[in-house]
Amino acid sequence: MPELAEAALKTNAWACYDCGKCTATCPIPRIGGDYSPRKHVLAANLGHGDDLVKNGSLFSCLTCGMCDRRCPAQVGYTALVQKLRELSYREGVEPECPHGGALHSVMRMMATGGTQQDRLRWLSDDLNTDPKAGQVFYWTGCTMYYDAFFPDFEIRTLEGTRAAVRLLNQLGVEPVVSPDERCCGHDLLWNGDRKSFELLARHNIKLVTDSGAKLLVVSCAECLRTWNIDYEPFFESPPPRIMHITEYLSERMPELKLKENDGQKVTFQDPCRLGRHLGIYDPPRHVMKELPGVELVEMRRSGPGAMCCAGATWSNCDRFAKRIQVERLREARETGAEVLVTACPKCQVHFRCAMKDPKIGEEILIEMRDVAELVSDALA
């Protein structure tokens, strides 16, 4: 399998020391699961393609990037997993996607473009946007789908989307919010369906390019990673500046008129894509520290060492993912914070799901808000 050798070369897998730090660092074995990145790296180096791409074990990886951070040989295990999952998909191996694979089906419908979306119903009269052209394009992601799919979890990711637009308006920006936006394709790419991903990438890049936008603002950490890294080969002209909403706000906080808060203690969940994948740690913290009356308290594991929400690609949802989520929520509660602040809607979906456990829900229950909501609430 020549693609296997190429993947091992491009991800530096050949340099593996076989030291085991990746497996020791991986959240899954640390919580009791049987998963070993080292075994996969060894199999790739030995050319054992069948062992890797046909048994489905690769889809258990959280792709959190923790092992990449700890590897002394700089093996890019997360990138290796992305490529090997593509080979698995070609062999007909797919993950047992949570929720019956419904979200992946919607993404593939968007990729083919045969279905008209009612994508802007969430916009209220107080939000000023343009559907076609402007200097700033606000990328909404799939929050409208999450809220529709998970009403039982009381998912409210659209509140963060509305808050982001409200803040852009407050800063004098009328962003482009397009009815023709489609899923960025992040989950399809990370589950091996490159063909559908590329259809989405080309559509979305053309959409933003045709709008004339010089700046693309994104609230979802996974969308941000996709635009910054995975879309790069598809741009035919210089891309716009691409920023997470917290990066944008961090630069413009002095321009916002903020009211005093009676006092609120918050803690922050570092999304894997925002942190370990893109190295963005300071902007969300700077934004929260600028809010009057808000005290940010860090969890025991934060920043580069933050624990994952255990569900980045909708590829697995098992008892080990649940244990990881519960342990992280316990860490959040231990800080004494009233609110767990997120910078990615996917984190909110998974943690709210975990909090619905009838046996331990009260023990791990904590209010969750998007960072844009927190800032929007502080507007005078």
Q: Give the DSSP letter of residue 153.
A: G
Q: Which residues, 6 or more positions from 126, have their beta carbon under 8 angstroms from its beta carbon?
A: 166
Of 250, 276, 299, the domain-final residue: 250
Residues 187 and 204 in one domain: yes
Structure-token pair, residue 196? 């559908």
241 and 214 in contact (C-beta within 8 Å)? yes
Give the Cα separation of 32 and 300 in Å (integer).
20
User: What is residue 193's predicted lDDT score, i.e. its pLDDT?
Assistant: 95
Residues 105 and 240 in one domain: yes
Residues 115 and 86 in one domain: no
125 and 204 in contact (C-beta within 8 Å)? no
Residues 209 and 242 in one domain: yes
CATH number of the CATH domain containing 230: 3.40.50
Give the Cα separation of 251 and 167 in Å (integer).
13
338 and 128 in contact (C-beta within 8 Å)? no
Of 55, 72, 90, the domain-final residue: 90
Give the Cα separation of 217 and 215 in Å (integer).
6
In 185-291, alpha helices (H):
186-190, 194-211, 221-225, 245-252, 282-289
3-state secondary structure 162-212: HHHHHHHHHCCCCCECCCCCCCCCHHHHHCCCHHHHHHHHHHHHHHHHHHC
Of 199, 231, 250, the domain-final residue: 250
Residues 167 and 144 in one domain: yes
Give the Cα separation of 203 and 110 in Å (integer).
10
Structure-token pair, residue 138? 């606000």
Q: Which residues, 6 or more positions from 323, have their beta carbon under 8 angstroms from its beta carbon?
A: 31, 32
| Residue 318 neighbours by CB distance under 10 Å | 13
Give the pLDDT means over successive 10-residue stretches in the chain (380 positions).
88 94 94 92 90 86 95 96 94 80 90 89 96 97 93 92 98 98 96 96 98 98 98 96 98 94 92 97 97 96 94 81 95 97 95 91 92 95
CATH number of the CATH domain containing 55: 1.10.1060.10
Q: Which residues, 6 or more positions from 284, have their beta carbon under 8 angstroms from its beta carbon?
A: 246, 250, 268, 270, 274, 341, 343, 371
75 and 68 in contact (C-beta within 8 Å)? yes
Residues 213 and 69 in one domain: no
Q: Is 12 helix (H, G, I), strand (E, B) or coil?
A: coil
User: What is residue 49's predicted lDDT score, i.e. its pLDDT?
Assistant: 81
Give the Cα separation of 362 and 151 in Å (integer).
19
Residues 286 and 368 in one domain: yes
Q: Give the DSSP letter of residue 312.
A: T
Classify the C-alpha dihedral 324-330-336-339 as positive or negative. positive
Residues 246 and 267 in one domain: no
| Residue 52 neighbours by CB distance under 10 Å | 25
User: What is residue 242's predicted lDDT score, i.e. its pLDDT?
Assistant: 98
Residues 233 and 274 in one domain: no
243, β-bridge pairs: 217
Can you give the residue range of the structural domain that contains 240? 98-250
Number of domains in the chain: 3
End-to-end CA distance of the chain: 61
Residues 102 and 202 in one domain: yes
| Residue 256 neighbours by CB distance under 10 Å | 18
Burial class (CB in 10 A: 0-12, 13-18, 19+), 78: buried
Residues 108 and 170 in one domain: yes
User: What is residue 279's predicted lDDT score, i.e. its pLDDT?
Assistant: 97
Residues 108 and 211 in one domain: yes
